[in-house]
A and B are shown apart, each in its own frame.
Chain A
Amino acid sequence: MRPLHTLLSTCICSLVKKTVFFLTFTLAVLLSCTKDPKTEVAPLGLGDSSEKVVFDPSQVPYPTLSAYRFFKLPLAAQRPVAEVLPYEPISALFTDYAEKARFVWMPPGAKATYNGDGNVLQFPENSVLIKNFYYDGVQPGNTRRIIETRILFKRNGQWEFADYVWNAEQTEAFLDMNGSTTPVTWTDENGTTRSISYRIPSAGECQMCHKIGNTPVPIGPKPQNLNADLAYRDGVRNQLKKWVEHGFLEPGYPKNIMTTVAWDDPTEPLALRARSYLDANCAHCHAPERQCSYRAVRFEYNANGAAANQGICMEPEEPVEPSMTYNIAPGNVARSMVHYRMNTNDEAVRMPLIGRSMIHTEGVALISQYIQSLNQTCN
């Protein structure tokens, strides 16, 4: 019998845009979901109405994750209650190969509103974004280990951070804003075993990426990142449409949303994959009003189509490695600072500066391929 959480993860992670994939994949998901009696979890939106999220703005952040009742018990199964919707950005930030399960909750009757393709939705008061970080194949037991659950909640018009660190028994997670490290060794689906010292962020580290100016903000839930299908328990839906159906989003948002693509989908155009990757992994700092907006590159999706914003033929301002002639040297990976900084673990050189301790081999390969595809002449 397959453990429930494996199936859940399959459903959540199978994000499909192509029609052909859509049909076959949906069938597969539905079939596998109905074959296993353990999957007879009430579909979202039709669940047990007694499973109410508990969110008292005067009391949050609670000392424990279970107190919010976002999830059914056992907590580690990561089964959201009916009020809570899973979501997934089309391209995600690389964080040392951690798996992520993301969820959103809003108070009954409250709705988010569209605020531009590339801007985070305008969330109502007391909205909560929930993100579980976990690994599968964790050694020695080859088990799943949920490490932390990061929560962003909006109180009095301001987003606030809360991070919950899971106990060894995987029965509860406890509020801890001081940051810590924990060793993780896991074997991935290809049989590769990796070890890291996993960094659970402190409040200051959360703020480093999650801000505009000095104001805390979410990063992922933008229409450009959500305008794609997700396999929910009750079927595949476009996430924005699902949010509307679920009562989380005001209808009437624009039809033609400039949408990112899955960076690892080889059927998408290479340039869009690279741009989507740069948006997800770099734009939280390299965009206006962000941590590193003083550098001239602009990696947010609605700006990074311009060669100048990508750093093509742009000389780096900081002489980290003098032989990197340009941030992106067309056709010349060995002379490209973007590649150099992605392809190192030196903590004073690597990009992103925090959030990873290992090189994202697949991401580096994508950007290399993209740089090789460019043929502009500089000067």
Chain B
Amino acid sequence: MNKLSSLLIAGLMGSLPALAQDNCATAIPITAGTYVIDTIDGPQVPLPVCATGGNTATRGEWYVYTAPANVSVTVTSDLPENVAVTPGLDTRVHVYTGSCGSLTCYDGDDDAGSDYLSLALFNLQAGQSVYIAWDNRWESRGFSFSVTEGPPFSEAVTFTNVTVPVTGTLRAAVDMNNDGLDDVVGINTTTIDNVAYTTGVTIAYQQNGGGFSAVSYPTAQIPNTPSWSLCAGDLDGNGWNDLLIAGGSKVTLLFADADGNGFSNDTTYNQYVFCQRSNMVDINNDGLLDAFSCHDVQPNVYFINNGTGTFTFYQGGLGDTPNGGNYGSIWTDIDGDGDVDMFIAKCRGGNQVTSTDQFHRNNGDGTFTEVAAQYNLANFTQTWSAAWGDFDNDGDMDVMVGASSFSAGGHKLMRNDGNTFTDVTAGSGYDTFTGTNIEHITHDFNNDGYLDIMGGGNTIMMNNGDMTFTPNPVSFDVGAVGDLDNDGYMDIQTGGTARINNGVGNNYIRIIPQGTVSNKNAIGARVTITTASGTQIRDIRSGDGFRYMSYLAAHFGLGQDEEVLQVTVRFPSGIVNTIDNPSINGTLTVVEDINTSITNATKEPLVLFPVPTADLLFISGDYNVNQPVRVFDLNGKLVKQAVVNGNHITVGGLAPGMYVVEVQTNDGPVQRSFAKE
């Protein structure tokens, strides 16, 4: 039986030994060319699985290829002779490095070719060998495949697959045992009488020196699973991160025990919540971490920490659209005023009101005001998540509102211009990028000092540094992000596989702020670094994208910069700590310290603008946001008293004329005049 023949040399070679390519050890050496598989019937199943579609294959066919030079290699079954077959052929291929006894996925594909045909494209160095194995996941019929070589393609970032020994629903890549190393968290579930229960938490602890050691902690049988999202943080302040399970009908808080060796759930909160994105954040800025969940079909819900081990459930005040449409909440300081705001990516068919995104600006006094329209963020793109980051490193948070569907507009890249956001999608790469997803996240994946964005199409959009992005294809979807091999490059956990970032030789620094006055994780802190290349900012967040929980730290790529001049951490409490010239290519922990806090380091002159104004009067400079602003007419009569709403007050109700504004500063009240038109 001739199972393999090179079309080019079949006549010369005649029959090859039967079953030669039935297992890895007898893999047929091949070069560029076209080959025919009669039937997929070799007994060695290609494992691990390097493509989508699961591990139910029962047979395989094995080949080995060695690159003659530095080349890109295309292995594909998407050939005319296969396309012509009816019914259509369905193939899957795996590409391995390593030895037969220890294979590592290098690439693989299920159906990147037309219909269900496969296409794997990868770079190899001269002399590098890979095993190419086809399996019968979908069917066993034979087909042709080709191996072609081309010039190596440029990849900004590449990944190597590593299996992580964790069970359950993979949702988080975050440090759970406070050793500074990101761990992988799986939630174990079971279904009894058609009800899904959480039964345990399995944590694959990253080991010092590499690898993972998994420990499973049984929980009570909890009738809720993290089907929609999961987030983490130290809610009770006992030093161990707790978990929030956001399911289809309720929120469950899962508290780590005092010794970090188990979890117990709170059974108090049985309110109906159709959860979507969930977050932990200190909503009322009292130093105690609170919890939040988007509600799909009602106003959003949150749990305010009473500081006594109990929480109070609230519904209302943070996104009250009656029929919901709340999908991707993210808490970050959008207006740069030192407190944490919330943006909600919204989606809803047939309803522009419900699908219009919201920006809940923190008033600084525990209340929030929805101001998306004022900031040009009231967009009704159908979106489940938005990636917030300072893409142009100018010191404020920009946003890529990622479309889940193009039915009401595409992706929107919005530049933060201080008092408004400007749509800079045109020409950015996002105007032509057609991948859609419910997940949009931003991290610096190549450590070049610019935040990249990952969304749909198995693609990381690499930031070119000028608010344009270039697609970098990868072989996997968005997952939980963390540094899973402690090399300073961000890795991505999807399912049971860690996609380990191979790195590109840039420098980095990882900063872990620790709250003392503020919440322990310092969620909501703004971390700023200054290097020769400029300034970068990150906010500490619990819950970005849509579903996953990523690392609780600030990760900065430094490019080729060899030093960080200064690190500044502005804690939610207002305490600001700085570290000069820290070591790079490692982790810096910054403990919140009121004694060394610097505030009002540079006094800015008080400025009112625009003048004249019709409605909004912006106030910049050093003044006490939490004390009321008073407005007097020229007769000295008090005509308005207001708390500054982020950075402005509203004066639309005043009659045209000249007025005097009085604001409070640390040096006492200061007056400025303005004209109302």
Q: Do A and B bind each other?
A: yes
A residues lining the B interface (CB < 8 Å): 96, 178-179, 181, 183, 185, 194-197, 199, 202, 204-205, 207-208, 211-214, 285, 288-296, 317-319, 321-323, 325, 329, 331-332, 334-335, 345-348, 353-354, 357-358, 375, 377-379
Which B residues fall within an 8 A CB radius of A?
52-54, 86-88, 90, 110-111, 114-116, 138, 191, 193-196, 223, 225, 227-228, 247-249, 272, 274, 295-298, 323-324, 347-351, 353-355, 382, 404-405, 407-408, 436-438, 456, 458, 477
- CA–CA, A375 and B458, complex, Å: 29
**Residue among A183, A290, A322, A335 making CB contact with B350, cutoff 8 Å:** A290
Contact yes or no, A208 B407, CB < 8 A: no
Chain A to chain B contacts (Cβ below 8 Å), 6 pairs: A205-B274, A289-B349, A291-B348, A291-B350, A335-B111, A357-B195
Contact yes or no, B115 A317, CB < 8 A? no
- Chain B contact residues, majority secondary structure: loop
Across the interface, name the chain A residue whose C-beta is closest to B299.
A204
A358, closest chain B residue (CB): B194
Cβ of A137 to closest chain B Cβ, rounded Å:
16
From A211, A335, A346, B90 is in contact (CB under 8 Å) with A335
Q: A208-B323, A294-B382 are in contact. List 6 more A-B contacts (CB 8 A).
A: A213-B351, A214-B353, A294-B349, A296-B405, A353-B248, A379-B114
Q: Select from chain B the residue with minimum beta-carbon distance to A207.
A: B323
Residues of B within 8 A of A323 (CB): 52-54, 110-111
Closest Cβ–Cβ distance, residue B250 to chain A (whole Å): 10
* A80 CA / B116 CA spacing, docked (Å): 55
Given A208-B323, A319-B477, A357-B194, CB of A293 within 8 Å of CB of B297: no
Report yes or no: A322 in contact with B52, Cβ–Cβ below 8 A.
yes
Contacts of A375 in B (CB 8 A): 87
If A178-B272, A325-B115 touch, does A204 touch B323 (CB 8 Å cutoff)?
yes
Nearest B-chain residue to A356, judged by Cβ: B194
CA distance A308 to B295 in the complex (A): 32
Check A294 against B248 for contact (C-beta < 8 Å).
Answer: no
Q: Which of B193, B228, B407 has the most CB of A within 10 A?
A: B193
For A288, list chain B residues within 8 Å (CB).
350
Could you say which of A212, A322, A332 contacts B477, with CB atoms under 8 Å apart? A322
Partner among A178, A183, A325 whose Cβ is within 8 Å of the Cβ of B111: A325
Interface pair B407/A296, CB less than 8 Å apart: yes
- Shortest beta-carbon contacts, A-B, top 4: A289-B350, A293-B349, A195-B193, A322-B52
Cα of A334 to Cα of B57 in the assembled complex, Å? 14
The residue of chain B having its C-beta at the shortest distance from the C-beta of A211 within the complex is B323
- Return A346 CB to nearest CB of chain B, in Å: 6
Residues of B within 8 A of A181 (CB): 249
Complex CA gap A163/B568 in Å reads: 56
A369 to chain B minimum Cβ distance, whole angstroms, is 16
* Residues in A neighbouring B436, C-beta threshold 8 A: 317-318
Nearest CB in chain B: distance from A119 CB, A: 15
A197 shortest CB reach to chain B, Å: 5
- Decide if A322 touches B437 in the complex (CB within 8 Å): no
Taking a contact as CB atoms closer than 8 A, the residue among B225, B298, B349, B405 that contacts A317 in the complex is B405
Chain B contacts for A208, CB-based, 8 A:
296-297, 323
A51 to B512, CA, bound (A): 74
Contacts of B86 in A (CB 8 A): 377
Contact check, B227 vs A347: say whether CB atoms are below 8 A apart: yes
Q: Contact between A345 and B52 (Cβ–Cβ < 8 Å)? A: no
Q: Given A323-B111, A335-B90, A202–B272 Cβ distance below 8 Å?
A: yes
CA–CA, A219 to B298, complex, Å? 21
